C-alpha cells in the first residue's frame, strides 16, 4: 500500500514536471546558434534526432526540444527502476527520484539540444541491465561509441572496473573502445596550458547545487575507502577525477562528464540517510541544516530554470543572463512576421541562422543589423517584462 502511494506520487510529479518543461519550451526558449548549427549544418547524432523530429512534427520549438524531454522522462523511469531494491524504505526511493528529477543539470539537459540527457539515458540503461542480470550489456557498447565522444569516459571506467571483477572480455572490449573513441573524436590539446579547476568546480556546483556538490565529494571519497565500490562508483569517480586532471591544463567541456557524475545520487542519499538515522534526534542538527540547505538550493535552481526572465531587471547587461543565448530569436521572428518581413539580409550570421529556424529566410527585400546605422527605417526592441534586452535596425532595400 505504501509502495503504491509513493509510485502514484512519482507519476504525478513526473507528469507535472514534464508539463512544465513543455510549457518552457513553447513559450520561453528560442533556438540558440549552436542548436541551429546542429540542425542545419553539423552531421551528428543531435542532427539526426532534431532533423527527424522537425521533419515529422514541423519546424518549431516543441519538435526541436521534444525528443530531449522524452529522454528526460525515460531517464527518470530508469532511475526509479534502478533503485527498486536499493533503499530500505519506499519514501527514500521517492526522495531520490525527486532530487534526481530536479537537479539543475538534469533539468537543463532535458531542455537544451545537447547529448547530456542522451548520455544519462544510455548510462542508466547499462547500469539497470547490470544490476538486474549481473551481466554487462556488451552488445550496446560499440553502439555507444557512435553516439557521442563522452562515452569514452564510460569505457575507461569499465576498464578500471574490469580489474575488480576480473572480467577479461570487459577489459579488452572497454580499452579497445576507449582508444577507438580517442581516435575517432580526437582529444583537444590546443592552446596554452592554463588551469581551469575553479571553473570546473563552479560548473559542477551549478549542476548539483553548491551544498549537494560538496556532499558528493565527501560521499565519493568515503566510498573509495569502503567495500561499496560498485559499478556506479567507478563510473562517477572516473568522470570526476578525469575532469579535474584535464582542468589543470585546459577548459573542460563539463557536459561530457556531468552525466556520469549525477548518477551517483542514490549512493549519496543512502549514505546520508544511514548516517542520519543512526544518530539520536539531539545529534541530527547538522544533518537537518544540511538537508534544509540542499532543499532550499534545489528549489531556487528549479525556480530559476522555469522563471528566469525577471533576472534581466537586476543584471546591468542583458548578455550576462545565463540563458541569454536561448532568448529573443523567436520573439524577433514574430515581430518581423507581424510587419510582413520574411526575406532579409542580416549582418550577423549567427542571428540569421537562428531566424532561419523560424522561417525568416535570406533575401534582398530588407537589411537587418544588430548595430545602429544612420539611415535605418525602423527599430525593433525585444522587451521582457518592461526591459529591452535586444535591438535590431531595419532598412527596406
Please report, in tens digits, the pLDDT of each residue of the chain (397 residues total).
Answer: 567 889 999 999 999 999 999 999 999 999 999 999 999 998 889 999 999 999 999 999 999 999 999 999 999 999 999 998 888 889 999 999 999 999 988 999 999 999 999 999 999 999 999 999 999 999 999 999 999 999 999 999 999 999 999 999 999 999 999 999 999 887 655 555 567 788 888 888 888 888 899 999 999 999 998 877 899 999 999 999 999 998 887 888 888 899 999 999 999 999 999 999 888 888 889 889 999 998 998 899 889 889 999 899 888 888 999 899 999 999 999 999 999 998 899 999 999 999 999 999 888 889 999 998 888 899 999 999 888 999 999 998 8
Separation in Å, CA 21 to CA 78, 110, 255, 308, 351: 19, 8, 20, 14, 25
CB 104 within 8 A of CB 305: yes
- Tell whether 15 is covered by a domain: yes
Identify whether residues 372 and 226 lie together within a single domain: no
| Helices within the chain (DSSP H only) | 2-27, 33-40, 45-57, 61-82, 90-102, 104-111, 116-133, 141-147, 151-165, 168-185, 197-208, 210-224, 231-247, 258-262, 265-277, 285-306, 329-338, 349-357
Locus of grid cell 539497470:
128
In eight-state DSSP terms, residue 380 is E
- Tell whether 314 is covered by a domain: no
Q: What is the pLDDT of residue 193?
A: 59
- Tell whether 324 is covered by a domain: yes
Range of the domain at 39: 1-307
Separation in Å, CA 330 to CA 30, 157, 239, 359, 364: 5, 41, 36, 10, 21
Identify whether residues 187 and 268 lie together within a single domain: yes
Strands 378-384 and 366-369: unpaired
CB 51 within 8 A of CB 39: yes
Identify whether residues 297 and 324 lie together within a single domain: no
Identify whether residues 326 and 387 lie together within a single domain: yes
- Tell whether 312 is covered by a domain: no
Identify whether residues 327 and 383 lie together within a single domain: yes
Residue 390 Ramachandran class (φ > 0 left, ψ -120 to 50 alpha, else beta): beta
- Tell whether 313 is covered by a domain: no
Which among 307, 332, 363 is the end of a domain? 307
Q: What is the pLDDT of residue 2?
A: 65
Residues 32/34/35/40 CA torsion (nearest 10 deg): 120
Identify whether residues 233 and 350 lie together within a single domain: no
Identify whether residues 388 and 278 lie together within a single domain: no
Which among 284, 307, 330 is the end of a domain? 307
How far is Cα of residue 100 from the mean position of the Cα atoms in its chain? 12
Identify whether residues 211 and 261 lie together within a single domain: yes
- Tell whether 49 is covered by a domain: yes
Spatial distance between the Cα atoms of 334 and 348, rounded to a whole number of angstroms: 18
- Tell whether 29 is covered by a domain: yes
- Tell whether 363 is covered by a domain: yes
Which among 307, 331, 357 is the end of a domain? 307
How many domains does the chain divide into? 2
Which has the closest alpha carbon to 390: 365, 366, 362, 371? 371
Separation in Å, CA 278 to CA 151, 216, 283: 38, 20, 10
Identify whether residues 294 and 325 lie together within a single domain: no
Identify whether residues 177 and 97 lie together within a single domain: yes
Identify whether residues 300 and 343 lie together within a single domain: no
- pTM score of the predicted model: 0.93
Identify whether residues 258 and 114 lie together within a single domain: yes
Amino acid at each position: 500500500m505504501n509502495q503504491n502511494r509513493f509510485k502514484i506520487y512519482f507519476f504525478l510529479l513526473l507528469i507535472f514536471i514534464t508539463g512544465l518543461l513543455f510549457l518552457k519550451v513553447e513559450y520561453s526558449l528560442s533556438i540558440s546558434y549552436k542548436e541551429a548549427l546542429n540542425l542545419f549544418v553539423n552531421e551528428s547524432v543531435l542532427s539526426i534526432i532534431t532533423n527527424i523530429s522537425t521533419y515529422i512534427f514541423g519546424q518549431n520549438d516543441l519538435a526541436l526540444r521534444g525528443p530531449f524531454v522524452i529522454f528526460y522522462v525515460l531517464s527518470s523511469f530508469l532511475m526509479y527502476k534502478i533503485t527498486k531494491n536499493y533503499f530500505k524504505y519506499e519514501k527514500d526511493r521517492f526522495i531520490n527520484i525527486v532530487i534526481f528529477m530536479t537537479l539543475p543539470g538534469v533539468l537543463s539537459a532535458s531542455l537544451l539540444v545537447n547529448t547530456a540527457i542522451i548520455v544519462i539515458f544510455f548510462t542508466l540503461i547499462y547500469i539497470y541491465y547490470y544490476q538486474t542480470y549481473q551481466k554487462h550489456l556488451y552488445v550496446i557498447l560499440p553502439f555507444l561509441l557512435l553516439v557521442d565522444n563522452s562515452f569514452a569516459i564510460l569505457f575507461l571506467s569499465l576498464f578500471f572496473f574490469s580489474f575488480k571483477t576480473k572480467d577479461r572480455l570487459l577489459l579488452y572490449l572497454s580499452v579497445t573502445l576507449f582508444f577507438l573513441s580517442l581516435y575517432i573524436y580526437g582529444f583537444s590539446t590546443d592552446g596554452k596550458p592554463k588551469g581551469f579547476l575553479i571553473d570546473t568546480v563552479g560548473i559542477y556546483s551549478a549542476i548539483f547545487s553548491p551544498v549537494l556538490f560538496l556532499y558528493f565529494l565527501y560521499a565519493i571519497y568515503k566510498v573509495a575507502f569502503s567495500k561499496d565500490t560498485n559499478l556506479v562508483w567507478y563510473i562517477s569517480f572516473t568522470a570526476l577525477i578525469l575532469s579535474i586532471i584535464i582542468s589543470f591544463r585546459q577548459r573542460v567541456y563539463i557536459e561530457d562528464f556531468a552525466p556520469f557524475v549525477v548518477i551517483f545520487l542514490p549512493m549519496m542519499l543512502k549514505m546520508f540517510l544511514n548516517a542520519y538515522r543512526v544518530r539520536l534526534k539531539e545529534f541530527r542538527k547538522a544533518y537537518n541544516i544540511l538537508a534544509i540547505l540542499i532543499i532550499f538550493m534545489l528549489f531556487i535552481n528549479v525556480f530559476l530554470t522555469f522563471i528566469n526572465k525577471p533576472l534581466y531587471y537586476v543584471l546591468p547587461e542583458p548578455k550576462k543572463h545565463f540563458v541569454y543565448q536561448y532568448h529573443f530569436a523567436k520573439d524577433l521572428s514574430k515581430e518581423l512576421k507581424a510587419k510582413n518581413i520574411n526575406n532579409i539580409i542580416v549582418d550577423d550570421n549567427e542571428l540569421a541562422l537562428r531566424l532561419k529556424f523560424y522561417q525568416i529566410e535570406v533575401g534582398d527585400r530588407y537589411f537587418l543589423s544588430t548595430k545602429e546605422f544612420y539611415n535605418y527605417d525602423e527599430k525593433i526592441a525585444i522587451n521582457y517584462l518592461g526591459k529591452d534586452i535586444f535591438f535590431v535596425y531595419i532598412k527596406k532595400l
